[in-house]
Amino acid sequence: MTLVASPIATNPNGAVHGGVVSALIDHAMGTTAMTVMTARAAPVTATLNIDYLAPAVPPLTLRTTVLRHSQALVFMQTHVRSGERLVDVGTGTFVPRADYLLDPTEATDDLPAYYFAPRRFGD
């Protein structure tokens, strides 16, 4: 995943706000976690920890790895780079859940399609 420009104003030093970086890491981990979950499961963030090592000046590149997974938990790690420089490291744990997914017949135009996904991400 790549962030070319910040969706909100950057900090005075040109860096992306830490809250934006946190949301990007959570999103990258969640979508990657879906690749190892069973059909009809979606990731729910249980823990999220971020080490801010240096200013995250765009463009940013995020690389996420599944460290370990089971039917109950998915452990993730994301490295955020500004150019070649490692600027943030995130770790998180996700719980596969299917009990809050909506039936596809309840779809509306304002809800993303993945809320209704009847299969694994990437299938």
Q: What is the pLDDT of residues 56-68, one digit of tens each?
A: 999 999 999 999 9
Q: What is the mean pLDDT of residues 2-15?
A: 82
Q: What is the pTM of this model?
A: 0.79
Q: Report the alpha-carbon angle 49-5-50, nearest 5.
A: 5
Q: What is the pLDDT of residues 12-64, one digit of tens each?
A: 888 999 999 999 999 999 999 999 988 778 899 999 999 999 999 999 999 99
Q: Where are the domains of the chain?
A: 2-116
pLDDT of 114 > 60? The answer is: no
Q: Is 100 helix (H, G, I), strand (E, B) or coil?
A: coil
Q: Structurally, what CATH architecture does the domain formed by 2-116 represent?
A: Roll (3.10)
| pLDDT at res. 87 | 98
Query: Whose structure tokens read 């900090």?
Result: 11
